[in-house]
Every structure is written in structure tokens, then in C-alpha cells.
Structure 1
């Protein structure tokens, strides 16, 4: 079965992996949800927003990327 969302593979230090799993358990969330939340926060930082705006990355759907 094909996933609706693209997948990426991450290699994490063991301690980071353990922390993510424990935090996910405490929050009653999946590791996937925690990582997606962190990526969203990163992409909403001023530095990334500046890059997105400068290179029109908010228009990727329009240019077929």
C-alpha cells in the first residue's frame, strides 16, 4: 500500500531516538507526529521563511515540483 505522504529516512543518535520515543509516549503521540511538529516549527522560523520567500518556494506546486 502506497502512503499518501512522501517518506524520508533519518539517522539519529541513539539518545535522540530514545528521547523522542519517551516524549511521544508521555504526550500520547507518535514519534512521527513529534518530528512533523518540529519540522513545521523549523520551517516557520524567520530564517527559513526568508529563504522560502526569496526563492518563491511557496509556489512549488505551481511550477511542478
Structure 2
């Protein structure tokens, strides 16, 4: 939901094969979303999260 709120894709577009790049998560957006994950969810993630996990399925794994 954080990604949808920030990048703006439809929730129906958020399946496991969806790449963050195609959803509008560019380098700047990835830093914003990573920071929100850290602050709102209290989960430690690196700034390279979306490079390390290029799809939703990769992030879930």
C-alpha cells in the first residue's frame, strides 16, 4: 500500500511479476519509499532495496 500511495499505480497492477520500475518507482522514489518503510513500518531496509528486489515477488521472497 505504501508503494501504491507514493508511486500511484492501481492496486490491481501490484502482482508478483510487476517490476517497480514499470510501476514508476525510480531512483528518487525508491529512496522516499524506503524511508517510509523504515519510519512507518519500523522495518530496516537499505536504500538499494528496489535494486536488490526489482519485482514485487522478489520483495515478498
Give the number of the structure whose alpha-carbon radius of gyration is greater: 1
TM-score, normalised with respect to structure 2: 0.33
TM-score, normalised with respect to structure 1: 0.32
Looking at both structures, which has the greater relative contact order when contacts are Cα pairs under 8 Å and sequence separation is at least 6?
Answer: 2
Structure having the larger proportion of residues in helix: 1
